[in-house]
Amino acid sequence: MKKYVLKRVVTAIFTLLAITLILFILMQLMPGSPFNDEKLNESQKAALYAKYGLDKPIVIQFFHYVINMFKGDLGVSYKISKNTPITQLIASRLPISIGVGFAAVMIGAVVGLLLGLLAAFKRDTVWDTLATIISVIGVSVPSYVFALALSYQFGFKLGWFPMLFSAKDVVGSSVLPSVSLSMFTMASIARFTRAEMIEVLGSDYMLLAESKGLSGNKLVFSHALRNALIPIITVLAPLVVDLMTGSLVVEKIFSIPGVGSLLVNAIQSNDYNVVIALSFIYSAMYIGIMLVVDILYGIIDPRIRVAKEGD
């Protein structure tokens, strides 16, 4: 198991390096530059390029960046907030994004799970149909549409929650963005849970457990849930990533001062360093979550745990 984790961590580091390189190349390919200001003449621009080291070959830039990164320096912003270190820029914004995102994952996972279980246990009834309709809507409607709809209904018309994010009421003003972000996660998990649960309920080992005379609750809790939920852990990771991309737009709609809206601004204004740093953080979070899920899966599922102990 230790060997396995170590192998995975090393692979993850190389993956991140590759991602950083690709980000560098993509940034170069983007049209425009951070200093597209009509007031600047050519020599001033060249001076700015030289100042930030953008005149050097991309490989050199890349190595500089990576070395600095290991020192904990992600460079400075060129445009959005001139010469502010990006670490500082992110430090204040990341917790807000993570807070909203985490709430969304929690809401999505819990509600999705309950909805999926309800649909599976009440299979082919009105409840099942209702759950299916909710999940189809959740999967097919993008989160920003929910964001607009929710903010109109519950923010503007009913006035239950603030329409915009405010630092004074973090919890209250996080409700609508979290709920809109959670819809896709909720719907996907509901569908997946239903399918898994129905498969487990129809399995031979459930019949054997039933033939032992166990009560319905005991059957569900000691046999069905564990077997149905293990595969669900694997879909949670990609869902978290979908949620991150969803947060880009949703943060903008609710004007949440998080990393999502920062990234959108950075892309619009060609602020290379900010784009690279944030994309890097998103990638690192994704790889980190995948790694955690894989390890978790190994701990929970004996079939994988034992196989890994074998090597």
Partner 1 sequence: MSEEKKREKILDVKDLDITFKTTAGDVHAIRGVNIDLFQGETVAIVGESGSGKSVTMRAAMGILAKNAVVNSGQIIYRYRDNKGGIDYNPDNDETAQWKEADILKMDKKWIRKHINGRRIAMVFQDPMTSLDPTMTIGKQIMEGMLWHYKIDKKDAFKRSVELLKEVGIEDAEKRMKQYPHQLSGGMRQRVVIAIALSCNPDLLICDEPTTALDVNIQAKILELIKKVQKERDIAVIYITHDLGVVAKVADYVNVMYAGKIVEVGNINEIFYDPRHPYTWGLLSAMPDLGTDDDRLYTIPGSPPNLLHEKEGDAFAPRNAYALEIDDKLEPPMFKITETHSAATWLLDERAPKVEMPPELKARIERMKKEAEANVS
Which residues contact partner 1 by CB under 8 A? Answer: 203-205, 207-215, 218, 222-223, 226-227, 230, 301-303, 306
Nearest to 243 by CA among 282, 272, 288, 191: 282
Quick one: 7 or 226, whose CB is closer to partner 1? Answer: 226
Structure tokens at 235: 């879909």
- Minimum Å gap between C-beta 289 and partner 1 is 23
Quick one: 59 or 300, whose CB is closer to partner 1? Answer: 300
For residue 291, give every residue at least 6 positions away whose Cβ sits within 8 Å of its Cβ, in sequence order, or none. Answer: 8, 9, 12
For residue 62, give every residue at least 6 positions away whose Cβ sits within 8 Å of its Cβ, in sequence order, or none. Answer: 20, 21, 24
Question: Which of helix, strand or coil describes residue 56?
Answer: coil
Quick one: 136 or 207, whose CB is closer to partner 1? Answer: 207
* Cα distance between residue 137 and residue 204, in whole Å: 34
- Minimum Å gap between C-beta 227 and partner 1 is 6
- Minimum Å gap between C-beta 254 and partner 1 is 41
With b meaning 16 or more CB within 10 Å and e meaning fewer, what string describes 163-201?
bebeeeeeeebbbbbbbbbbbbbbbbbbbbbbebbbebb
Quick one: 214 or 235, whose CB is closer to partner 1? Answer: 214
Question: Which of helix, strand or coil describes residue 299?
Answer: helix
Is the torsion defined by CA of 158, 164, 169, 173 positive or negative? positive
- Minimum Å gap between C-beta 174 and partner 1 is 36
- Minimum Å gap between C-beta 204 and partner 1 is 4
- Minimum Å gap between C-beta 129 and partner 1 is 15
Question: Which of helix, strand or coil describes residue 81?
Answer: coil
Quick one: 194 or 223, whose CB is closer to partner 1? Answer: 223
Quick one: 199 or 294, whose CB is closer to partner 1? Answer: 199
Quick one: 89 or 117, whose CB is closer to partner 1? Answer: 117
- Minimum Å gap between C-beta 300 and partner 1 is 8
Residue 117 contacts residue 123 (beta carbons within 8 Å): no
* Cα distance between residue 19 and residue 283, in whole Å: 8
Nearest to 119 by CA among 203, 191, 216, 199: 191
In terms of DSSP H, where are the helices of 57-169? Answer: 58-70, 86-121, 126-140, 143-150
From residue 127, give the alpha-carbon distance in Å to each of 117, 120, 138, 183, 184.
10, 9, 16, 18, 20
- Minimum Å gap between C-beta 25 and partner 1 is 45
Quick one: 157 or 212, whose CB is closer to partner 1? Answer: 212
